[in-house]
Every structure is written in C-alpha cells, then in structure tokens.
Structure 1
Amino acid sequence: MKKTLLLFLFFVITSCYQETAIAIEGEFTTSYVDQDESIPVIIKIDNKVTGADTYEWTFEGGNPSVSNSKNPGEILYSKQGTYIIKLIAKNVDGESQEFTKTVEIKDGINIEFTHEIVKSNYSPVEVILKNSTIGEGLTFKWEFQDGSPASFTGKTPPNVIFTTPGEHTITLTVSNGFESDKQTKTITVNPYLVSLFTYEPKFEDDDYEASVTIDFTNKSVSATSYKWTFEGGNPAVSTEENPTVVFASAGTHEVILEASNDKTSQVFKSTITVLPDTNLRTFANIKLGINTAHNGNNIGAMFSTITREVYKANEINDENSALIDIVFQGLNSNFTYNRFISPDQANNYGFLALKNAQSTIFVNSQNLCNCGLNFTEAQFDSMENDTPIKALNISYTAGGAQEFGFTYPKIILFKTQDGRKGAIKIKEMVKNGTSSYILCDIKVQKQ
C-alpha cells in the first residue's frame, strides 16, 4: 500500500514540474551611443530576454565579435556597413531561441577636394575639381558661386567656368544620411584685361619741344605682355613694360599699346604732339626778394634756370647751390640800389657764399655798358625763340654791371657759365618793408 502511494505522488510531482517549465521570451535592443551613427560607432546592447541560462552573442563586424555575457555592454564598429547582431539564448530545459537585429554603420565624413585653374586666373577662369573624399554611402552636393554650372550633385563635377572678376566660393557638402559636413574654398578671378598707359616728358622736355624724351607708365590691368608702337619715336617698337622714347621731330605722333594675357588682348591708342624747337625757356611771374626778404627766409633772391626754382637762404644746400645762376641784390625796401650779381660774387653783396658757385655775366644797364646792346621790352615780349638774343654780345663791363634804382619795366641781359643767353624783364617792384620784392619774367636759351 505504501509503495503504491509513493508511486502516485512521483507521477503527480513530475507532471506538475513539466507544466511549469520557464520559456525563453523577450528581446534585446540596440542604441547608438551619443546618437552617433558615423564611424567609429559604439552600439549599446540592452538585453531584455528572460528564461535563458546561457547567451551566445555574435557581432558581425563588431569588436568584440562574440560574447557569452548576458549583457555584453558596448560594441565598437570601425567600418561602414550593415551588420547583424545575433543572440542564441538557451536554458537548462533544452529550450533555445535565436534573436537578431540589424545595425547600419555609416561612413565618417572627412572632406578632401582640390581645385586646379587651367592656364591662369584671368577671366574666363576654368577650374578642374578633384574629389578625394574617402567613404561609401556618401552623397555630394557642390555649389559654385557665380559659376557655370552653379551646382552639381555627385562625387566628381565637370569643369566649372567663372567669368565675373572677384572672389568666388566653391562649397562641397557631404552627407552620410545621418550627418553632413561642408568645406569651402575660394578662387580669385582677375579683373578683365584693360590696356592703358600714361606718359610724362623728362623735366627738361616738359615744353614738348623737339626733341622730347618721354617716360611711359603702363597702367594696364591683368596684362602679362606688352607690344608698343611709337610713330616717329626711337625706339619705334618695344616690349618693355615701361619704355622711354625719344621723339626727335615736331608733329603729332600716335602711340599704340597692345596689352595681352593668355586669354585675350586689347589695344589702347593715344597721340603726342611735339612742338618745333624754339631753344627758349620762359619763366613768368618770378618773385625775387630784396636781401632782407632772402636772408629772413621770406622771399628768395636766388633762382636756378636749371631747376626752375627760387631759393631762400635756408633752402640752399650743397646740391642746389651749384645750380643757381641768377642772384638779385636789393639793398633796401625803397629799391634805391639794385643789381643782378654773379652767384660766385654773392658773398660780396650781403649773402652767404655759395658752394661751387656759377659765374653769370649780367648787363644791368645797357645804356652804360658801351657794348652796343639795345634789347627792348617790345623785343622781349615778342620773342618766341632764341633768335633775337642768339647774336647779342653779352660780356662783362664795369658799366654794364652798374646798379639801378626804382625803375620798371626794365630789361637785364645775362649769359650763364655754360654759354646760355637770356633776358630778364622786371615788370614790377613791390615795396613791402623787409619783404619787398621784384616781379619778373625770364627768357633764356635751353641747355
């Protein structure tokens, strides 16, 4: 009887145990750490499976690649792709369940592109673009400011043309579907080609009388080469950027500049009028002060027909003192005693000595010189070339060097150390105390 009861209880207990076996249920979830889907990517595993005693994880493309932990934690992915995470869960009852998830790992974005300008950056500018960005599953969007085309979608765009001068941006935006990045580069298109020049005669040729030496200044824009043609000039042609040319004959001469770059060329023309040579230099309204005006540094008493400047006492130096060829002595503001004196005699008439001074002959009084001179105011006014004074015998005499008083208009003749002859017309004698001065015109032969 006891054996029968025990056997019955065994079957009851066994039957109850089989009915209450624990099933394997649930799932596991994945998430991107920091919501970062671009490599390197860390996937966090959250295991919510129940009823299992052992776990076999396989992480395709991951590190680690396998695990037996219930919660393997975080898995690192270093390469773009779509990967399967598989879990095989088992228990002691022999039950086994397989769970899978798919994760998508996107390529990281590291933009690399270069641009190359064909020929030069003079308009129009053609640009070759090379995209070296590495990665799979990426999309590319190009934008070309003021370019043709203005935009392009794809990894490698066609050549782009920029025509408008100035700076232009090239922007590449790369996306992996999760995030995007952009890189911008700038190209500069040089201004349109312009052919242009200015010119200026040498100081001694500013009257444009033949022969004239002229310096040309190239003002062209975006030019790399130059071809000059000078009608009546020497040289007649030139490829220099800033040439100097001599025009020996009077007349109107055409100057042509063809400026070029590797894209185009342009021509600019101008004319230069060269006047007949008068061999006469004219200076109008020259103020020469009396001694006190000069020494007080108010109005200079010394003049150079070479530099064409009046010098006060404090303006004279070692460089210009040897170029002074006219000196006026006005003894007082009433002009009772006046004369023009040779620069090398200045220290004898109330001035400081001039270094390397010139020797100029002055005829202050044509009436007293006894040298046959009678050059009139009318002759001075009508003189348009050096013919009227060329034959004059201007030489030193004591009578001709005599002083003169308050009288004008008055003509004074002179001859410089280098043999140039000239005449001074005193137009006015202005009484103004220690700043008194004479106002005169001067005509002199050229060097």
Structure 2
Amino acid sequence: MKKALLLLVFIIITSCYQETSIAVEGDFTTTYVNAKESVPVVIKIDSKITGADTYQWTFEGGSPSTSNLKNPGEVLYDKQGTYTIKLRASNADGESKEISKTVVIRDGINIDFTSEIIKSNYSPVEVILTNNTAGEGLTYKWDFQDGMPANFTGKIPPNVVFSIPGDHTITLTVSNGLETQKVTKIITVAPLLVSLFAYEPKFENDDYESPVTINFINKSISATKYKWTFEGGNPAVSTEENPIAAFTSVGTHEVTLEVSNDKTSQIFKSTIIVQPDTNLRILTNIKLGINSAHNNNNIGAMYSTTTRQVYKANEINDENSSLIDIVFQGLNSNLTYNKFISPDQANNYGFLPLKNAQSTIFVNSQNLCNCGLNFTETQFDAMVNDNLIKSLNISYSAAGEQQFGLTYPRIILFKTQDGRKGAIKIKDMVKNGTSSYILCDIKVQKQ
C-alpha cells in the first residue's frame, strides 16, 4: 500500500513538471545605424527572444563574427554583399529556436576619376577620362558641359571633345541605389587662335621717312609659333615673337604674320608706307617761356630737338641737360628784350648752368648780322625738305646774336653743335605777366 502511494505521488509530480516546460519564443530585429546602408555599415541587433538561456549568434561577413549575448548590440560590415545573421536560442528544458535574417550591404561611394588633355588646351580639346572609382553594384552618369558627347552612362566613358573656349565642367554622378554622390572637374579651353599685331616706329622714325626702323608688337592669341614676312624689309623673315625690322625703300610694304599652335594656324596682314626722306624735322606750336616762367617752373624756356621736349627748370637733370640745344631768353614780361642763346651760355643769362651743355649758333637778327642771310617767312612755310636751308652759311657773329623786341612773325636761324641747321618761326608773343611766352614752329635737319 505504501509503495503504491509513493508511485502515485511520483506520477503526479512528473506530470506537473512536464506541463510547465518553458518554450523559446520571440524574434530579433536589425536596424541600419544612422540609416547608412553603404560600407562601412553598422547593424544594430535588438533581440526580443524569451525563454532562452543560451544564445549562439553567427554574423556572416560581420565583425564580430559570433556572439553568445542575448543582445549582441552592433555589428560592423565593411564589404558590400548580402549576409545572413543566424541565431540559435535554447534553454535547459531542451527548447530551442533558430532564426535567420539577411542584411544587404551596399558598396560605399568614393568617386575617383582623372582627366587628361591630349596635346594641349587649344581648341579643339580632346580629354581622356579614367574612372578609378572602386565598388560593385554602382551606376555612373557623366555630364560634359558643351562637350561632344554631352553625356554618357557607364563606368568607362569615351574621350570627350570641347571646342568652345572657356571653362567646362565634367560631372560624374555615382549611385549605389540609395545614396548618390557627384564630383565635378573643370576643363579650360584656351581662346581661339587669333593672328594680330600692332607696330610703332622708333622715336626718331615716327615720320615714316626712309629709312624706318619699326618695332612690331605681337597681339596674337593662343599662338605658340610665329612666322613674320617683311616685304622689302630687313630681315625679310623672322620667327621672333616681337621682331624689329628696317625699311629703306620708299613705298608700301606688306607685313604678314602667320601664327600657329598644335591645332591650327592663322594669318594677319598689314602695310607699312615709307615716305621719301626729306631730312627735315617739322615741329609745331612750341611754347617757350620767359626767364621767370622757366625759373618758376610754369613754362620752360629750354628745348631739345632730339627729344622734342620743352624743359622747365625743375625738369632738367644730368641726363637731359646735354640734349638741350635751344634756349630762349625773355628778359621781361612785356617781351621787349628777347634772344635765343647757346645752351653753354645759359648761366650768363639768368639760368642755372647746364651740365655738358651744347654750343648752338643763333642768328637772332638776319638784317643786322651782315652775313648774307635773308631767309624769309615765306621760305620757311614752303620748306618741306632741307634743300633751302642746307646751303645757308650760319656762323657766329656778335651782330647776329642781337636781341629783338615785340615783333613777329620772325625767323631765327640756328646751327647745332652736331652741324644740323634749322629755322625758328615765332608765330605769336603772348604777354601774361611772369608767365609770358612765345609760340613758335621749328624746322631742323635730321642729320
């Protein structure tokens, strides 16, 4: 009886234990941290499993690759692909549950491409594009501003040609299906080739009388090579960028500039007209002040037929003082006592001495000099070359250097230290107090 009772109690207890066995239930979720699905990707695991005592996680392609925690937290993926996350949860009752989920890891976007210009950036510009962007499952869209072609879809684009001068953008847009990035580079096309030049004669040749030496100023655009042709010039041809050429024969001379780069060439032409040599320099409307005007730095009384400039007292220095060959002395503002004096005598007539001063002979009064000179205003006005003046015997005499008063028009003859002969025509004498002056034209030999 006692044994039967014990058996009955055991059966009842065993029966009760089996009825209270704990099942493993629930699930887990995966979340992309910061919603970022391209590498590097962090997946957050959130386990909702109940009834389990042990957990065996396997993270294919992840770091860590395994875990035995109920909530393993975050898993890092650094390569693109589709990976399985497995969980086996179990308890002491022998209950277990296996769950598998997949996560899709997309390739990260790190755009990398280069552009290489073939030959040069002169139009047309051909560009080689090399796409070094790494990754699988990416799509590529290229846009070429004003290019040929204008756009392209694919990883490896064709060469692109840009013809319009200026800056052009090359834009590569890369997508992995969720994220999109773009990178832009600029290609600069140089201006179109233009052949163009200007020119100016040397200062002493600005009347274009033979012989003429001319400086040519290259104003071409996008040129790398130059070929000049000077018809009747010396040299006849030149490859310099800014050459100098001399022309001795009278007439019209054609100048041609052919420029080129590695893409194309262009020609520009102009003409040079060389006049006959008159050996006469004509200078007009020269204002020369009286002594006070000069010394007060209002109107200069000294002039150089070489530089063709009037100099006031404060403008004279060691470099230009030796070039002055005409000095006017106006003693008073009423212009009643006037004379042209040799520069080397300036200090005797109320001026500071000139360093390395020239000696110029002046005939202020032809009628008093008794030297056989009678050069008239009519002759001066008609003089277009030095024929009339080169035979004149201009020599120093005390009578010839005599002063003159307020009388004009008047002709003064002179001879420079280097032997050039000339004539001054006083056209006007203007009373203006200490700034009184004379207005004159000068005609002088070049050599």
For the aligned residue pairs, the C-alpha RMSD in angstroms reads 1.5
CA contact (8 A) 2:343 2:360 kept: yes
Aligned partner of residue 167 in structure 2, secondary structure: strand
Mean Cα deviation higher: 222-231 or 364-373:
364-373
1:281 corresponding residue in structure 2: 281
2:62 corresponding residue in structure 1: 62
TM-score normalized with structure 1 length: 0.96
Q: After superposition, where does 1:299-314 map in structure 2 within 5 Å? A: 299-314=299-314
2:232 corresponding residue in structure 1: 232
CA contact (8 A) 2:23 2:96 kept: no
Aligned partner of residue 369 in structure 2, secondary structure: coil
Mean Cα deviation higher: 386-395 or 177-186:
177-186
2: CA distance between counterparts of 1:198 and 1:36? 64
CA contact (8 A) 2:22 2:95 kept: no
1:257 corresponding residue in structure 2: 257
1:347 corresponding residue in structure 2: 347
1:374 corresponding residue in structure 2: 374
What amino acid is the match of 1:290? I
How many Å apart are 1:20 and its aligned residue? 4.0
1:36 corresponding residue in structure 2: 36
2:417 corresponding residue in structure 1: 417
Q: After superposition, where does 1:1-400 map in structure 2 within 5 Å? A: 1-400=1-400
How many Å apart are 1:93 and its aligned residue? 3.4
How many Å apart are 1:2 and its aligned residue? 3.9
What do residues 379-424 of structure 1 show as CA deviations (whole Å, max 9, x unaligned)?
1100000010111111111221111222111111110000000001
1: CA distance between counterparts of 2:31 and 2:298? 93
How many Å apart are 1:3 and its aligned residue? 3.2
Aligned partner of residue 322 in structure 1, secondary structure: helix
How many Å apart are 1:165 and its aligned residue? 1.2
What do residues 53-72 of structure 1 show as CA deviations (whole Å, max 9, x unaligned)?
32221111111212222222
Mean Cα deviation higher: 53-62 or 408-417:
53-62
Aligned partner of residue 322 in structure 2, secondary structure: helix
TM-score normalized with structure 2 length: 0.96
2: CA distance between counterparts of 1:218 and 1:81? 63
Mean Cα deviation higher: 272-281 or 34-43:
34-43
Aligned partner of residue 367 in structure 1, secondary structure: helix
How many Å apart are 1:34 and its aligned residue? 2.0
Paired positions, count = 447
Aligned partner of residue 167 in structure 1, secondary structure: strand
What do residues 407-443 of structure 1 show as CA deviations (whole Å, max 9, x unaligned)?
1111111100000000011112222222211111100
How many Å apart are 1:282 and its aligned residue? 0.5
Structure 2 runs not aligned, ≥5 long: none
Q: After superposition, where does 1:400-415 map in structure 2 within 5 Å? A: 400-415=400-415
Structure 1 runs not aligned, ≥5 long: none
1: CA distance between counterparts of 2:68 and 2:294? 111
CA contact (8 A) 2:287 2:299 kept: yes
2: CA distance between counterparts of 1:340 and 1:10? 154
CA contact (8 A) 2:171 2:185 kept: yes
1: CA distance between counterparts of 2:221 and 2:246? 26
Aligned partner of residue 253 in structure 1, secondary structure: strand
Aligned partner of residue 347 in structure 2, secondary structure: helix
How many Å apart are 1:145 and its aligned residue? 1.8
2: CA distance between counterparts of 1:49 and 1:294? 111
What amino acid is the match of 1:56? Q
Mean Cα deviation higher: 352-361 or 169-178:
169-178
What do residues 17-60 of structure 1 show as CA deviations (whole Å, max 9, x unaligned)?
33443333222111112222222222111112223332221111
What amino acid is the match of 1:359? S
1: CA distance between counterparts of 2:433 and 2:93? 134
What amino acid is the match of 2:317? N
Aligned partner of residue 10 in structure 1, secondary structure: helix
Aligned partner of residue 143 in structure 1, secondary structure: strand
How many Å apart are 1:16 and its aligned residue? 4.1
